[in-house]
């Protein structure tokens, strides 16, 4: 089959499926490229969107199973690769905090959950796209929601998330323990991903006192004294986040992303792995 303009226009849809499934941008782009190459050898298809979508899901499920095994030896917590942009005109995918939680799901649960929650597909369409029966899709979605229910991020206004992010960064920079106590919920948790290439916590931290001790300890390090870093706002998977750059070199050092309710921060996600820190111009 020829790759027409109509087929090329499906690329963002296919990329979003693959990225939501894998949490890896380059891997998602490779799958979409492979899907288009396979399309060239197809003779006739009635519904190109469904055909390419199903191929993308199948390849993503298979690849995710392989990556899960590799992930077992990852140094410290593994966080999805953030889709970082400087504007929010094209929200690319699921909210980053939810994408992080999808690691709890097996590949089949993840596929059904994404199609339902990210694309609002009905069960008939999900069955066509996955090859599972409609009843099986309902069961998989129920299991996925059960695994996520107790910890699913609350939906808050971007302005609220931005305000809490900025207040947190100011309080941290000033090492203002009282303000941090007010901003961080008592059962907050913290995950940081350095990929073995930059310093990061090797284990998740749970609870206000442990998180505070870690944060204030980091701020006492020699490298964090003075004005060697600058914070800049950005969008992480379409939601407000913050980037930290080396002031002298302009190198991107890390990303900060918060989970929150209307008044407090409930989760801190830090990305420091340089392989996962790239600013994107827009959707592939």
The CATH number of the domain where 110 resides is what?
1.10.10.10
Question: Domain boundary residue among 42, 73, 104?
Answer: 73
Taking the C-alpha atoms of residue 34 and residue 149, their distance in angstroms, rounded to an integer, is 35
**Residue 84 within any structural domain of the chain:** no
Is there a single domain that holds both residue 267 and residue 225?
yes
Please tell me whether residues 191 and 262 are part of one structural domain.
yes
- The answer to whether position 86 is within a domain reads no
Helix, strand or coil, per DSSP, at residue 10 = coil
273-277 average pLDDT score:
96
Half-sphere exposure of 116 (CA within 13 A, CB side): 18
Q: Same domain, yes or no, for 125 and 177?
A: no
| CA angle, 214 then 154 then 215, to 5° | 10
Q: What's residue 284's pLDDT?
A: 45
Q: Does residue 128 lie in a domain region? A: yes
Residue 111 counted as domain residue: yes
Question: Does position 128 have pLDDT exceeding 60, yes or no?
Answer: yes
Query: Which residues fall within 8 angstroms of residue 248, CB to CB, at 6 or more apart?
Result: 228
User: Does residue 172 sit in the same domain as residue 221?
Assistant: yes
* C-beta neighbour count of 41 within 10 angstroms: 7
In a domain, 2, yes or no: yes
Instruction: Give the structural domain span for 128.
Output: 96-151
Instruction: Decide if 221 is inside a domain.
Output: yes
**pLDDT tens sequence across 37-48:** 999 888 888 889
Confidence of residue 91 (pLDDT cuts 50, 70, 90): low
Reference 265, options 273, 257, 255, 274; nearest CA is 257
Residues 168 and 254 placed together within one structural domain of the fold: yes
Q: What is the pTM of this model?
A: 0.92
CATH number at residue 204: 3.10.450.50
Q: What's the average model confidence in pLDDT over 257-279?
A: 96
What are the distances in angstroms from CA 88 to CA 118, 158, 239, 240, 259? Answer: 17, 10, 7, 9, 18
**How many whole angstroms separate alpha carbon 268 and alpha carbon 258?**
5
Q: At what angle do helices 158-173 and 208-219 cross, to 10 degrees?
A: 60
Q: How confident is the model at residue 90 (pLDDT cuts 50, 70, 90)?
A: low
Residues 211 and 196 in one domain: yes
DSSP code for 120: -
How many domains is the chain built from?
3
d(CA 102, CA 237): 15
Band (35; pLDDT cuts 50, 70, 90): very high
Q: Is the pLDDT of residue 264 over 70?
A: yes
């Amino acid at each position: 089959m020829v790759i027409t303009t109509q087929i090329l226009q499906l690329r963002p849809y296919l990329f979003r499926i693959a990225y939501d499934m894998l949490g890896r941008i380059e891997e998602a782009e490779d799958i979409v490229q492979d899907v288009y190459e396979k399309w060239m050898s197809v003779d006739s298809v009635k519904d190109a969107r469904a055909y390419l979508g199903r191929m993308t899901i199948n390849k993503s499920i298979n690849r995710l199973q392989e990556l899960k095994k590799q992930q077992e030896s990852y140094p410290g917590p593994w966080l999805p690769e953030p889709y970082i942009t400087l504007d929010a005109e094209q929200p690319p995918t699921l909210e980053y905090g939810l994408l992080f939680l999808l690691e709890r799901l097996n590949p089949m649960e993840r596929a059904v959950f994404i199609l339902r929650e990210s694309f609002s597909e009905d069960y008939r369409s999900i069955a066509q796209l996955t090859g599972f029966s409609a009843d099986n899709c309902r069961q998989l979605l129920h299991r996925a929601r059960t695994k996520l229910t107790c910890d699913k991020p609350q939906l808050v206004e971007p302005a609220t998330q931005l305000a809490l992010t900025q207040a947190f960064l100011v309080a941290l920079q000033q090492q203002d323990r009282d303000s941090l106590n007010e901003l961080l919920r008592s059962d907050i948790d913290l995950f940081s991903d350095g990929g073995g290439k930059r310093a990061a916590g090797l284990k998740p931290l749970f609870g206000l006192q442990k998180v505070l001790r870690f944060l204030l300890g980091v701020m006492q390090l020699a490298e964090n004294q003075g004005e060697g870093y600058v914070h800049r706002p950005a969008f992480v998977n379409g939601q407000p986040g913050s980037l930290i750059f080396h002031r002298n070199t302009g190198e991107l050092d890390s990303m900060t992303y918060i989970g929150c309710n209307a008044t407090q921060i409930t989760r801190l996600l830090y990305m420091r792995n340089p392989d996962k820190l790239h600013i994107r111009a827009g959707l592939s």
